[in-house]
Amino acid sequence: MENLAVQQWIDNVIKPEQIERYLNHGKDFIDEPFIQETLLQTRNPDKNRVREIMAKSLELERLNPDETATLLNCTDEDLWQEMYATGLKIKHKVYGRRIVFFAPLYVSNNCVNSCVYCGYRKENKESVRHRLSPAELEEEIKALVSKGHKRLIMVYGEHPDSDVHYIADTLRIAYNTKVGNGEIRRVNVNAAPMSIEDLKILRDVGIGTFQVFQETYHHATYKKMHPRGLKANMGWRLYASHRAMEAGVDDVGIGALFGLADWKFEVMGLLAHTIDLEQKFGGVGPHTISFPRMQPAVNTPFAEKSPNLVDNDTFKKLVTVIRLSVPYTGMILTARESAEVRNDVINVGCSQIDADSNIGVGAYSKDKVEVNTQQFVLGDQRSLDEAIRDMARMGYITSFCTADYRCGRTGGCFMGIAKKGKIHNLCQPNAILTFKEYLLDYASEETRQAASYLIDKEFEALPNDNIKQTVKSCWSVLKPGNGICFCKKTAGLTQNK
């Protein structure tokens, strides 16, 4: 595309009135002096105070800023151990012992922005650019479906080549591509902030969660990291989720890129974002929170020398505080992290992970890692089968279920059930069935063996005989490749419980 056409597109993306309408007395929701002061006032917290706050989280109540700051300021390692255990208890109370698996699919990496930490920044001449054609996208989807995936997050650079119409077309392709009895049942999108009008287009083609990470909530750092391009407008990004919810996209995902600014500030920023969404949208905040940690990228030295890089121990702590602060929200731990870190941090309350991820554009169908088309370098290279086996050995059941969305349990409906700690009653039967489906159709013998005891255990733990009976009747007809959609079979029954 000619430079002039690109510039004309850029000039029309941001709609200032779609930022201003959400401001509080002309200011955005990141009140930096308040955050800094709260962090200062809650230093050296008393043990009993920390335990009181943990008890509140266990009741599945969202924490206030001073409570979150108190946890962030804890320096007692024994108390941290208690917080880790509390994070896991909360996760089990809300979501049960299931972990939702998904795959990231990078669709295009042309980008008009200049983010200092990103391998896709437009000035990076060592990054090889590509946008998938419809045929290439279909090959990517087929490769993922053939491994057993049912749920994607499709990722796009910010560029007129991948505008809303291109994204909508790619969603249609993803939903319509079948391989045998396999299919993609939920497509989430990670893309640039859009207008309400554009988001309505994505709503109408069945977008799952619309995910936009703020990167950093710290104004001065944001400015430094995003010197040019559309992304230089921090307000447009801060209210991307607000616009999505106003457009009727029920589920939004927020996140911060840890490593850019002070980690405690970023956790407070995520909380402020959650609170503002809840206040403006009838108590409904983000469906998921992500906490990617900055990773090395091709020809991107900043990613390895930022003064705010987060070590493994701190990473575990910040994930724990997010779980305690927003107990009912989904939390995504990605393959940016090594298998070792993920196997540890999952135990403080994460609910979703990806596996077998290949983040080069067009890389799944070629089945090779192409570093020059990647945004950053991945830490966990396990196959889906291996990751599922590891989770099973740790006692986690893998879920490929997407019945919530197909039964309309999104947005406020999902949150209402999750906040009462009842969502796992709906999800557990479907998790068992979709796991069994995966084991029959895709798993290695070793994984089948590792998982079989878990299926029996989770079956016994189902809430009542009625549900057990239905699950049994579904799996009695299971055969490899017979194409039954178990979510559809059980959704009616579980939805009414």
Q: Which residue ranges make up the site for ligand SF4 (CB under 6 A)?
A: 111, 113, 115, 118, 120-121, 157-158, 231
Closest CA to 424 of 365, 467, 371: 467
Residue nearer to ligand SF4 on the CB measure, 231 or 323: 231
As given in the structure block, the two tokens for residue 157 are 């650079």
Burial status of residue 381 (CB atoms within 10 A of its CB: 0-12, 13-18, 19 or more): middle
**What is the CB neighbour count within 10 angstroms for residue 185?**
21
Give the 3-state secondary structure of residue 99: strand
Query: What is the nearest approach in angstroms of ligand SF4 to the Cβ of residue 108?
Result: 9
Judged by beta carbon, residue 65 or residue 193, the one nearer ligand SF4 is 193
**Closer CB to ligand SF4, 157 or 362, in the complex:** 157
* Residue of 67, 14, 131 whose CA lies nearest to 268: 67
Q: Within 10 Å of residue 340's Cβ, how many Cβ atoms?
A: 11
- DSSP label at 331? E
User: How near is the Cβ of 199 to ligand SF4 at its closest, in Å?
Assistant: 18
- Cβ distance to ligand SF4 smaller for residue 80 or 117: 117
Smallest distance from ligand SF4 to CB 305, Å: 18
What Å distances lie between residue 349 and 190, 323, 393, 400, CA to CA?
23, 6, 17, 18
Nearer to ligand SF4, 158 or 380 (CB): 158
- Could you tell me the smallest distance in angstroms from the CB atom of residue 207 to ligand SF4? 18
C-beta of 113 vs 320, nearer to ligand SF4: 113
Of 282, 250, 285, nearest in space to 270 by CA: 285
Nearer Cβ to ligand SF4, position 62 or 121? 121
Please give the torsion angle defined by the CA atoms of residues 376, 113, 244 and 279, in that order, rounded to the nearest 10 degrees.
90
* Residue 451 beta carbon to ligand SF4: minimum distance, rounded to whole angstroms: 37
Residue with tokens 């979510």: 487
Residue 99: HSE in the Cβ half-sphere, 13 Å Cα cutoff: 32
Nearest approach, Cβ of 112 to ligand SF4 (angstroms)? 7
What's the closest the beta carbon of residue 380 comes to ligand SF4, in angstroms?
21
Q: What angle do CA 356, 487, 459 make, to 5 degrees?
A: 85
Closest CA to 354 of 208, 73, 144: 144
Q: How far is the CB of 195 from ligand SF4 (least distance, A)?
A: 17
Choice between 111 and 388, CB closer to ligand SF4:
111
Complex with ligand SF4: residue 121 or 131, whichever CB lies closer: 121
- Least distance (Å) between residue 295 CB and ligand SF4: 12
Give 121 or 389: the residue with its C-beta nearer to ligand SF4: 121
Say how far apart CA 261 and CA 310 lie, in whole Å: 10
Other beta carbons within 10 angstroms of residue 2's beta carbon come to 7
Nearer to ligand SF4, 93 or 121 (CB): 121
Sign of the dihedral defined by the CA atoms of residues 374, 378, 381, 386, in that order: negative
Cβ–Cβ < 8 Å for 372, 298: yes
Shortest approach of ligand SF4 to residue 110 CB, angstroms? 9
CB of 186 to ligand SF4, least distance (A): 23
118 versus 391: smaller Cβ distance to ligand SF4? 118
Please classify residue 20 by burial: count the beta carbons closer than 10 Å to its beta carbon, then call 0-12 exposed, 13-18 middle and 19+ buried.
exposed
* H/E stretch holding 174: helix 164-176
Q: How far is the CB of 121 from ligand SF4 (least distance, A)?
A: 4
- Residue 232 has a CB neighbour count (10 Å cut-off) of 16
| Shortest Å, Cβ 395 to ligand SF4 | 36
- Specify the 3-state DSSP secondary structure of 80: helix
* CA–CA dist 280, 60 (Å, integer): 20
Q: Which residue, chain included where needed, has tokens 């800023």?
A: 65
Nearer to ligand SF4 among residue 19 and residue 345 (C-beta): 19
- Residues 6 or more apart whose CB falls under 8 angstroms from that of 432 comprise 397, 455, 458, 459, 462, 471
375 residue type, one letter: Q
In the chain, the N- to C-terminal Cα span, in Å, equals: 54
